[in-house]
Chain A
Amino acid sequence: MRRRSRRPLVQWLAAIGANAYIPGWILGQIYRGPLKMGCVPILNCYSCPGALFACPVGAAQNAAARGTLPFYAVGVVAAAGALAGRLPCGWLCPFGLFQDLIHRLRGRRRAMALPRSLGWVKFAVLALLLPAAAIPTGAADMGYERFCTYLCPSGTLMASVPLLAVDPTLRTLAGPLLGWRFALLFLVIGTGIFLYYRPFCRVLCPLGAGLGLGNRPSLWAVGHDPRRRTDCGACRAACPVALDPTAGGTDTAECIRCLRCAEACLPKSLRFGLRNRIEGGDAG
């Protein structure tokens, strides 16, 4: 009998744990304690009233805007990618959980396959992330976080909505930019319900692109034991991003490491674990 997945529980615990500053939600203020020194490899806006940690995408852009290189933020993302690739996308990211929830509104209808070329857009966003932030603007002679400003629906959902809801002063600052951001958020929601599974993660997320670079060499990976392989196709049918896990699909940057393939594999040919253990030494 197939076991119930622990992923939703882990996702909820991660989302709640990363946004556990209760007074922030009530008073509309952000957390200002020492945990905010820590970058965590999930897209969780540090201006979210509940956020306990810093977003590496925002932190990296802020460093670039000040004209320095963001070794710390980049290192955190690279370390997470080296350990388990996009596992944080599949299991920890609060905005990933949000997209999973809206995708459930589709019911049992299968999502459309995303055109492969769209998958490259997130790498372009990643490549332009720091140069775009570094471009000076106006009299301040500093750049600013252009991805956060124009493209991050997580910030709109997790920061703009709760803070604008409780702070009338902030509402007076709202302009056309906020309209664009809500339009983007609704685009993500609409495509997530009617067309594709996790459209933002797969098309625009620079953090997902950065972590995805680690999918191929990551120490923990999804591997398959050829001796147990039955070619039943259950893993391919279970994959929400239409990859073939038996043909190296889980090593591509498109795999969000949700591990549904491993959960669907009844002969336990596919497993997630330390790469040299699951792939049997040099046999891979």
Chain B
Amino acid sequence: MTRNRMRAGSGWLFAAGALVLLGLWRGEHLDVFTKAITLCLECLGLR
């Protein structure tokens, strides 16, 4: 069972890494940046 979970965890990590790379390739980090440097009125509860 431990070996199966290690395989599942490794596969999960590989898939997650692929998602991160795909997101970076699509430039999502720039969208995150644009959002994160703007004062978020939703986060403040003002909108």
- A positions within 8 Å CB-CB of B: 30-32, 34, 36-39, 45-47, 51, 53-55, 58-59, 62-63, 66, 68, 70-79, 81-83, 144-146, 148-149, 152, 155-156, 159-160, 163-164, 170, 173-175, 177-178, 180-181, 214, 216-219, 221, 223, 275-276, 279-284
Contacts and interface: CB of A to CB of B under 8 A. Distances in A.
B36 A59 contact: yes
Interface string B12-46: 11011111111110101111110111011111111
B3 A282 contact: yes
A103 B19 CA distance: 37
Contacts, number: 176
A75 B32 contact: no
A37 B9 contact: no
7 contacts: A59-B36, A72-B29, A79-B20, A160-B46, A173-B46, A221-B5, A276-B2
A163 B10 CA distance: 42
Given A59-B35, A71-B23, A72-B29, 18 more contacts: A36-B33, A37-B33, A54-B32, A58-B40, A62-B31, A63-B28, A74-B19, A78-B12, A79-B13, A144-B42, A149-B42, A149-B45, A155-B45, A159-B40, A163-B44, A181-B45, A218-B9, A282-B1
Contact of B16 (A32, A51, A58, A78): A78
Contact of B33 (A34, A79, A223): A34
A276 B6 contact: yes
Contacts of A30: 37, 39
A61 to B, nearest CB: 9
Find the residue from A30, A70, A72, A279 having the highest chain B CB count within 10 A.
A72
What range describes how many residues of B lie at the interface? 35 or more
Given A46-B36, A73-B28, A217-B8, A148 B42 contact: yes
Given A76-B20, A219-B13, A152 B43 contact: yes
Given A78-B15, A79-B16, A219-B6, A37 B1 contact: no
Contacts of B16: 75-79, 81-82
A145 B42 contact: yes
Nearest to B37: A32
A284 B8 contact: no
Given A62-B31, A73-B23, A275-B2, A219 B9 contact: yes
Contacts of A170: 44, 46
Contacts of A63: 28, 31
Given A37-B29, A276-B6, A217 B12 contact: yes
A178 B29 CA distance: 29
A178 B39 contact: no
Given A155-B43, A177-B45, A284 B23 contact: no
A175 B46 contact: yes
A280 B2 contact: yes
B47 A217 contact: no
A185 to B, nearest CB: 10
